[in-house]
Amino acid sequence: MSTDPFLDRLQRARTAARSLATVTTAQKNAALAAIADAIEASVPQVVEANAEDLRRGRESGMAEGLLDRLLLDEKRLQGLAAAVREVIALPDPVGQIVRGSTLANGIQISQVRVPFGVVGAIYEARPNVTVDIAALALKSGNGAVLRGGTAAESSNRVLVEVIQRAISSVGLQGDAVQTVDEFGREGATRLMRARGYVDVLIPRGSAGLISTVVNESTVPVIETGAGIVHVFVDASADEEKAAAIVRNAKTHRPSVCNAAETLLVHRDAAERLLPRLARELQEASVVLHGDEGARSLVPGLGAASEEVWETEHLALEMGVRIVDSLDEAIAHIDRYSTHHTESIVTEDYESAQRFLAEVDSAVVMVNASTRFTDGGEFGFGAEVGISTQKLHARGPMGLQELTSTKWLVRGNGQIR
């Protein structure tokens, strides 16, 4: 092992990952069951550690949206344990045959799924990610090295200890999950430079954090993007559907990346629908910023500057714009979207099909709340993040997205 404490930790994760790559699905599922049980048994300790993080966050002036992400109470911990158990029920991707054939000379070739090796993650104020990534990495045969940020350091420390003990309790190597939080910002920087120790790096957090990791990392990165998410209410939209979808997309949990940030309304539906939509949002304490057309229909709205369309608010705040056509809505989305999630509310089949085909985002929806862009909702049990890039993975990332492939070739003495 290295005499460098940081590299030693990465090397231990790598050694454990090599072992994990060959264990059976039953062994991995036993470890996941142990993790779920251990989380439930450790609720008091985790909540106490989380209270320390919340206290520091409030004292430092952390925004309410970030405090909400940081919070771990008994209900959320029970939800995390349930998500781990859902991963148990999912098919193990390791060893799955993607494609294969027998060549004319009798050589058999097959492409199979294999673990990446060690997955690194850098994230902010989201201790739930510690559990999600550890569970998905374990089931897909990967080690995990986690940098969860100073804001959640106490919570993450306890969670990693709980996870390591649970993995070890079933005879696997607890070193498969590591945290480098204690190394601070230097640890994050070194993790980005840990090529040869870490096989892929996944950032989750603010646009600034993601940009830093993408631009500075020498380790391959799967980019998860910020969520400037749009809902477009088309001319034919049903009033009840529009009201329910817009309200849910903005207010269900405004601090997360799949919450809507911009409401676009077709001019032909604006007079009919916008006053009700605005009233229901305002009754839910949403601060609305409208363009000139929206302000003419809803007196008292604040003016929407260019900054409004470019901002992921992560709070009860939203931009509202009236557009003349589906084309104008798509053009606005193309200009300002972070290519995360967009939804259209419409009763017109052609408009729906055009929106699905022409909007270039990881998830595009018709008549559904953007809050459904989520690994758990998509049936993945949990998610590593929501990828907004186009290479390797796009959208919510589950088990398959934490694997690569290799080719297996079986011959009987053939030569070329």
| Average pLDDT of span 2-11 | 92
**Amino acid identity at 87:** V
Domains of the chain: 5-223+389-410 (3.40.605.10), 229-372 (3.40.309.10)
What does the alpha-carbon distance between residue 34 and residue 407 come to, in Å, rounded to a whole number? Answer: 33
pLDDT band, very low/low/confident/very high, at 255 (cuts 50, 70, 90): confident
Mind listing the pLDDT tens digit for each residue in 199-210? Answer: 999 998 877 888
Q: What is the overall mean pLDDT for the chain?
A: 95
Q: DSSP readout, 272-315?
A: HHHHHHHHHHHHTT-EEEE-HHHHHHSTTPEEPPHHHHT----S
pLDDT in tens, 276-294: 999 999 999 999 999 999 9
Contacts of 342 (CB under 8 A, 6+ apart): 229, 230, 231, 232, 333, 355, 359, 361, 363, 364, 365, 370
Rg, Å, the chain Cα set: 23
Residue 300 has pLDDT above 90, yes or no: no
Is the pLDDT assigned to residue 20 strictly greater than 60?
Answer: yes
Per mean pLDDT, which range of 73-77, 263-267, 312-316 is the poorest? 312-316
| Side chain identity at residue 148, one-letter code | G
Residue that has been written with the tokens 């859902």 in this structure: 86
- Report pLDDT for 1: 56
Give the pLDDT mean for 258-275.
98
At 60 the pLDDT is 94
Burial of 79 (0-12, 13-18, 19+ CB in 10 A): middle
End-to-end CA distance of the chain, in Å?
Answer: 42
Report residue 327's pLDDT band, with 50, 70 and 90 as the boundaries.
very high
pTM above 0.75, yes or no: yes
As a whole-number percent, the residues of the chain with pLDDT over 90 amount to: 88
Q: What pLDDT band is residue 336 in, cutting at 50, 70 and 90? A: very high
Taking only the tens place, the pLDDT of each residue in 344-389 is 999 999 999 999 999 999 999 999 999 999 988 998 877 888 999 8
